[in-house]
Amino acid sequence: MAIEAALVVPLLIMFLCLAIAGGRLVTSGSKIDAAAEDAAREASIHRTVAAAQDAAHAAATETLTDQGITCASTSVAVNAGGLAVPVGQVGTVTVTVTCTVSLSDLLLPMPGTRTLTSTATSVVDQYRQRED
């Protein structure tokens, strides 16, 4: 009986640790989704492309910090083409947030990183004044 336990218990512990690590990756992905959504909404309420890009970067950074995500590298890509459509027409702003998270801060010290990406789109108010 002791031999079986000596073989099975370490495998169960390793499986449990892998399940926890997988859960933490899924949770991190959800937090990056939230950062992309916040950045897209923030960009969509600005009138100029430059202001929209600055606001999206700031919103994504703030959300990631508030959510407790530490990225080894972060990029925020903003497609603010919807700000160029004429007033009265619907435009959209799309933001893609990419975050590289280290696997070493999970339950077990694991080498490597994982790059998580999320894209969100927000509608620009069709009657809001835009850049000339």
pLDDT digits (tens, 9 = 90+) for 104-128: 765 556 777 889 999 999 999 887 7
Confidence (pLDDT) at 7? 81
pLDDT digits (tens, 9 = 90+) for 9-66: 888 888 887 787 788 788 888 999 999 999 999 999 988 899 999 999 999 999 999 9
Look-up of token digits 């339950």: 107
The structure's pTM equals: 0.83
Confidence (pLDDT) at 52? 93
